[in-house]
Amino acid sequence: MKIGVLGGDGYCGWPTALYLSAKGHQVSIVDNYLRRQWDHELGVETLTPIRPLAKRLEVWHELTGKQIELHVGDVTDYDFLSSYFQAFGPEAVIHFAEQRAAPYSMIDRKHAVFTQVNNIVGTLNLLFAIREYDRHCHLVKLGTMGEYGTPNIDIEEGYITIEHNGRKDTVPYPKQPGSFYHLSKVHDSHNIMFTCKIWGLRATDLNQGVVYGTMTDEVALDEALINRFDYDEVFGTVLNRFCVQAAIGKPLTVYGKGGQTRGFLDIRDTVRCVELACLNPANESEFRVFNQFTEQFSVLDLAKMVQTAGRELGFSVEINHLPDPRVEAEAHYYNAKHSKLIELGLKPHLLSDSLLDSLMNIAVKYRDRIDAATMAPQVNWRSPRNVRTHATKPDAVLASR
């Protein structure tokens, strides 16, 4: 297939592009390098050293003989997106090209506005481009489990059947997003569902849990292909932060009671899920939703797992509880369904089998690059304000468009 990977320089997009290329698909990457600019803005660096995108693609070509096209541009620029569709003609488009961090969207007004404009306008442009150039093109959109929130009932995959006043219907599952970022994803889902209905488009919304790990078979071929390992308080995941803290002998910082429970999956399962969605596309006018995760853990569960793994490596690992800067339930019911991708053939990797290799050993290998100051919580959900940003401001990026 001809597959476009929008946001192909990012944490999920990069290994996905390599994986699909290795499988024999004709792959193109679309990116505007904003993810690298956000690191500069926040004064942080990913733990792993990331080469320039052009160099990464050059090394991939040298190692495999396979060519991945690069299209540099912004999906919020419809003229650029139109030219891309005409030049490449994708049969499937994987949409990773969004600002994906809840804390970033909660820093202040500018970051909230930027997140919603960037994400919602980019997705709308993509929907219009598919309508104009190839309505048969299958949209595979990265959503988030965070759209659902933490309801006191089981979370279904996208839809729920309800009975009310003697009548019955199947409707989209109620959304309870927890940040301006998650709200942007809810708006995306509504826009995609609407355009599938009125234009006959076909789309798969992958409501993904928290992804962990850096290594796939393709990334492991050469250090120049290595993936991101974000651990800072804005873009880093809690699991990455715990592994880095353990590697440098710092206490693991659990927010509140640590009962916050979410779905998790290995990066190797992310790329496989995307492939499964591409190989088994939605039907015309269909907006389908897959819950893309393999296991559920609480924050405290993760801390204890990292504590055990750290001790196996000879580290003394303590756990500290900090006041939670987020507005969220610190103990709650959480049971989300996630059977559809398993039914399509996904064979999950388990965190218990890969914690040391895919996370702890990477944290130890690159611990000289760790900046402990970037892990302290500074973004407060209750009192948005500008924190630790010193370079390219979101409003400046918007103005340049």
User: What CATH code is carried by the domain that includes residue 129?
Assistant: 3.40.50.720
Range of the domain at 229: 2-381
For residue 116, being part of any structural domain is answered with yes
For residue 390, being part of any structural domain is answered with no
For the question of residue 250 being annotated catalytic, the response is no
Report the alpha-carbon distance of residue 390 to residue 376 in Å, rounded.
17
Closest C-alpha among 284, 260, 263, 154 to residue 207 = 263
Q: Which two tokens stand for residue 6?
A: 């929008």
CB 189 within 8 A of CB 147: yes
Cα of 390 vs its chain's centroid, Å: 25
Name residues whose C-beta falls within 8 Å of residue 50's C-beta, 6 or more positions apart in sequence: 36, 56, 226, 228
- Residue 358 is predicted with a pLDDT of 86
Residue-averaged pLDDT of the chain: 95
Integer Rg of the chain from CA? 20
What's 368's DSSP letter?
Answer: G
Report the alpha-carbon distance of residue 202 to residue 93 in Å, rounded.
11
Catalytic residue, chosen from 11, 181, 212, 231, is 181
Q: Among positive and negative, which fits the CA dihedral 71, 123, 134, 131?
A: negative
Give the count of domains, the chain: 1
**Maximal CA-CA distance, the chain:** 64
- Residue 383 is predicted with a pLDDT of 84
Catalytic residue, chosen from 76, 144, 204, 253, is 144
Residue-wise pLDDT tens digits, 215-251 = 999 999 999 999 999 999 999 999 999 999 999 999 9
Catalytic residue, chosen from 19, 76, 185, 237, is 185
- Residue 384 is predicted with a pLDDT of 72
- Residue 391 is predicted with a pLDDT of 43
For the question of residue 181 being annotated catalytic, the response is yes
For residue 66, being part of any structural domain is answered with yes
- Residue 395 is predicted with a pLDDT of 55
Catalogue the E-assigned strands of 187-307: 202-208, 210-212, 252-255, 261-266, 287-292, 295-298
For residue 130, being part of any structural domain is answered with yes
Residue tagged 């339930």 (tokens)? 329
For the question of residue 64 being annotated catalytic, the response is no
Regions of the chain with pLDDT less than 50: 390-392, 396-401
CB 260 within 8 A of CB 299: yes
For residue 396, being part of any structural domain is answered with no
Collapse the DSSP code of 299 into the 3-class scheme (helix H, G, I; strand E, B; otherwise coil) and give the result.
helix
For residue 388, being part of any structural domain is answered with no
